Amino acid sequence: MENKTFIYLDNAATTIPSKEVVALYNEIELNHFGNSGSNHALGYDALKFLNKARESILNSFGVKGYKVYFVSSSTEANNLAIKGVARKYSSRGKHLITSNIEHPSVLESFKQLEKEGFEVTYLKVNEKGIIEPKVLEEAIRKDTILVSIMGTNNEIGSINPIKELSKITHKYPKIIFHVDTTQDVGKTDMDYSDADMFVVSGHKIHGLKGSGALIAKSNISFEPLLSGGVQEEGVRAGTVSVALACSLAKAIKNSFSIKNLQEKRAFLVENLKKIPGISMNSNENCSPCITNFSLTEKKAAVVVEGLSNKGIYVSSVSACHSKGESFSYVVKALGKDDKDAHNTIRVSINESTTIEELQIFIKELKNLLETIK
């Protein structure tokens, strides 16, 4: 990451892997390559590292009575949590609750379950992109078995009151509370024990793509998504990459040492608000890492391309659906009009982002808005 010749402001999409994490991956992959399920010395050696990785992850999150299931991404973790629980406990009820601004991996999972006969209530967020506790409480029914509400929204950075929502769900013994914490790990102050299930993605925290985990209370069972072996206690078939598991544990541990980013975000927001033709979508209490705004006079896609040509990388909409869709359903859910929803830009910073880089971004953004017709 030294001697960068570009300004990277798209950390919510992915982060630059740390050299420490890459080095650990290489060490494990080359020198502890055994299959953790094999009944010989190399297998036992690999299993030892795998168990240490699980222990490290639980310690980093400060939770007890939970299990770690290694998967390929938080997308897979969300799918496993939602579909796995809904199908496993369908005899208890078939009503599910989520919000209307969840990540596609969550929304598409619920849409699939609807086709299987489940009934889903999609809670509406308020103008700040937050689920109000009373809205959740009013939606709960006797046959509700699962509630899934994200911690931090990946597009606008709004932060839900997870502790309050958790208190409501835990008044009902049948309900399992799942939280998509992909954009929270190492970035927001959260008590992870408020969630019955939560997720992590390595590449969002300077880890490696292909590494992720579902962390769930030990008494929760799942209907597996994959058929095959009995790896991960029968929950996720397929040989576990011990190297990816260890690299993920290291990335998680490192993420909790990240310093406060509020000062940088405050500088960014203050300067964006001074630029004509910009409408802010992120509120003052959003994640310090994510700032989202709409262009009222210019096309966001053109501006993003113009910035890219200058070596400054931001995103329009979300990396999860920007290729085929330029419309932000998240911004639309805030009560904004179609024009705003079609012209969003997300700037996502991390601990290595400097004030100087943000100054250059602001300068180049102003120039582009003044020169683009």
345 membership: H or E segment, kind and range: strand 344-348
Same domain, 212 and 337: no
pTM of the model: 0.94
Same domain, 76 and 207: yes
What is the average per-residue pLDDT within 281-305? Answer: 94
Strands (E), 22-175: 66-71, 95-99, 119-123, 144-148
pLDDT in tens, 85-96: 999 999 999 999
What is the average per-residue pLDDT within 110-121? Answer: 98
pLDDT attached to residue 325: 57
Same domain, 162 and 235: yes
The answer to whether residue 1 sits within a structural domain is no
Same domain, 150 and 52: yes
Given 209, 227, 255, the domain boundary residue is 255
Q: Is the pLDDT of residue 4 over 70?
A: no
Q: Is the dihedral of CA 200, 265, 312, 301 positive or negative?
A: positive
What is the average per-residue pLDDT within 179-199? Answer: 97
Angle (nearest 5°) at CA 184 between 181 and 190: 95
Given 196, 229, 255, the domain boundary residue is 255
Same domain, 180 and 307: no
What is the average per-residue pLDDT within 70-84? Answer: 98
| Close Cβ partners of 56 (under 8 Å, ≥ 6 residues apart) | 249, 250, 252, 253
Given 219, 235, 255, the domain boundary residue is 255
Same domain, 275 and 346: yes
> Which pLDDT band, with edges at 50, 70 and 90, does 1 fall under?
very low
pLDDT attached to residue 213: 98
pLDDT in tens, 294-327: 999 999 999 999 999 999 999 986 555 545 557 8
Q: Is the pLDDT of residue 63 over 90?
A: yes
The DSSP letter of residue 310 is T
Q: Is the pLDDT of residue 195 over 90?
A: yes
Same domain, 228 and 264: no
pLDDT in tens, 140-162: 999 999 999 999 999 999 999 99
Domain that holds residue 175: 19-255
**Is 320 in the active site?**
yes
Average pLDDT, the chain: 94
Same domain, 102 and 180: yes
The answer to whether residue 2 sits within a structural domain is no
Same domain, 59 and 99: yes
> Which pLDDT band, with edges at 50, 70 and 90, does 260 fall under?
confident
pLDDT attached to residue 322: 47
- Active-site residue identified among 246, 286, 289, 320: 320
What is the average per-residue pLDDT within 162-178? Answer: 98
pLDDT attached to residue 33: 95
The answer to whether residue 187 sits within a structural domain is yes
In angstroms, the CA 355 to CA 276 distance is: 21
> How many domains would you assign to the chain?
2
Q: Is the pLDDT of residue 224 over 50?
A: yes
Domain containing 125 — which CATH number?
A: 3.40.640.10
